[in-house]
Chain A
């Protein structure tokens, strides 16, 4: 048992509201404005008003645009819980976890968790995510000299390590891009819905080998907010509750030293085991996987680390398209970050809420009893997991 025997939070709270702005490549609103719109829509989706909100957890993106006092932007006074959180891409999962604990303990009753970012301001995404424009000195300036820029490079080097150790191939990475695009084609709000074949994948330009352009997420401006409340309150509200039945985190603290293999064994192992145990389920019970897929490789390694396939066998596992529509392992059913929209951990979380509620339209997965959410940050450095269920009897918290 990895949590308290006197207080098991499994199933005691639920996500009851989801608000998403339009995802754009153009600059229309600041991150502050985007956050306000997503919060407004999430509250309305839940059937609540802003007077009901007494907790606000805020996560800014790469631009660092949001402040802890975001509440002023939406005119919410007298919050009982508020902070700016930063576990990078894992923050979405973390926010929901802390919100779940807060509403179950009485620290707050209705907690909004929001992410917003506006990296696209006329330049390319490389300007925001590459870091080449930053002036550095000392040891850090060595990285500039070596041309080690940005998240693309960090993940490409992790992917290469996996390919070298386990024989993972370029075709297998491409299979992830293709299956994820097929889901995006069923999602009206996905940003990239054109046809993609494995040939298209191989034909897309190199960014940093082993990554082609189509191995990488498409950065977007936008915001997503969710509303978390107790299971009792959730049952009185407008939407089918997405009960939070499993939670876990794993932060390896990669020392970048001999012996560490965290590029191919991520914090998802520990985060996932904790969440499975809390939910009382295992990989076989998961019908829908919503995994942080900033790159194709992330999907491969994350599937391994959650136990869907043994370590090192993720490449062959994905190659036959089983992650796509109609496949045995539906994964990133909204098009993920690769083809859908890049809202850090809010990408997998938002689609997980939609799937748990059964509101996925033509992309809805039938077996949605347990939906896994994987949020991940840094270069595979931070990890937070959720397992959501529409079933009020799911989980091990003894609430049913």
Chain B
């Protein structure tokens, strides 16, 4: 058993389609330019419902992280201990993520770059030391 593969839905389809071609896609407000993760319907800043998908740089930094030792889901049995990170994208949003590096090498603030891995039939961003 492996990690539970994410599933795309209508709202997130542009994100996963972007991941499949190696692009980290975020929503951006056409009016005030703020970027969002996860999906929004209305801009949290100017409250306009006018968001478009834009490709992010993939540049990020490690906001914080933990190393998981507790088995919440059987799909992680072979991976304990694994890291759980919050990365801060250069465009502003923070997202949960996995850092593709030794747990012992992780440091808050370290520079990261988005990469993509294939899990079953869907592509998912992971982050590597930049």
Q: Residues of A with Cβ closer than 8 Å to B?
A: 126, 130-132, 137-150, 152-153, 156-158, 160-161, 164-165, 205-211, 255-259, 263
Contacts and interface: CB of A to CB of B under 8 A. Distances in A.
B11 A139 contact: yes
Contacts of B20: none
Contact of B72 (A141, A142, A149, A157): A149
Contacts, number: 121
Contacts of B108: 160-161, 164-165
B72 A145 contact: no
Contacts of B6: 137-138, 141-142, 144-145
A131 B4 CA distance: 13
B94 A142 contact: no
26 contacts: A130-B72, A137-B6, A138-B12, A139-B12, A141-B6, A142-B38, A143-B96, A144-B73, A145-B5, A146-B98, A147-B73, A149-B72, A152-B70, A153-B68, A153-B84, A157-B64, A157-B84, A157-B86, A164-B107, A164-B109, A206-B69, A208-B67, A208-B68, A208-B70, A210-B66, A257-B93
Contacts of A258: 88, 92-94
A280 B100 CA distance: 52
A215 to B, nearest CB: 11
A145 to B, nearest CB: 5
A148 B92 contact: no
Interface residues of B, number: 44
Interface in B79-129: 79, 81-82, 84-86, 88, 92-98, 107-109, 119, 124
B94 A148 contact: no
B4 A144 contact: yes
A150 B71 CA distance: 11
A205 B71 CA distance: 13
B44 interface: yes
B9 A263 contact: no
A126 B65 CA distance: 20
Nearest to B34: A257
Contacts of B85: 146
Given A142-B6, A257-B92, A257-B93, A160 B70 contact: no
Contacts of A148: 84, 96
A297 to B, nearest CB: 12
Contacts of A259: 92
Contacts of A263: 64
A87 B6 CA distance: 29
Contacts of B69: 205-209
Contact of B7 (A141, A158, A165): A141
Given A147-B72, A149-B73, A211-B66, 20 more contacts: A126-B70, A130-B72, A137-B7, A137-B9, A138-B9, A138-B12, A138-B38, A139-B12, A144-B6, A145-B3, A147-B68, A147-B98, A160-B65, A161-B63, A161-B108, A164-B107, A164-B109, A209-B81, A256-B86, A258-B88
A379 to B, nearest CB: 11
Contacts of B63: 161
A303 B6 CA distance: 39
A145 B39 contact: no
Nearest to A130: B72
A147 B64 contact: no
A48 B71 CA distance: 48
Contacts of A206: 67, 69-70, 81
B67 A145 contact: no
Contacts of B67: 206, 208-209
A126 B72 contact: yes
Contacts of B64: 157-158, 160-161, 164, 263
A68 B72 CA distance: 32
A282 B88 CA distance: 36
Interface string B1-41: 00111111101100100000000000000000000011100
Contact of B11 (A132, A138, A153, A165): A138
A157 B66 contact: yes
A138 B72 contact: no
A258 B34 CA distance: 11
Nearest to A260: B94
A205 B67 CA distance: 13
A211 B84 CA distance: 13
Contacts of A209: 66-69, 81
Contacts of A130: 72
A145 B119 contact: yes
Nearest to B126: A146
B76 interface: yes
A357 to B, nearest CB: 39
Contacts of B124: 142, 145
| Residue of B64, B76, B93, B108 contacting most chain A CB atoms (<10 Å) | B64
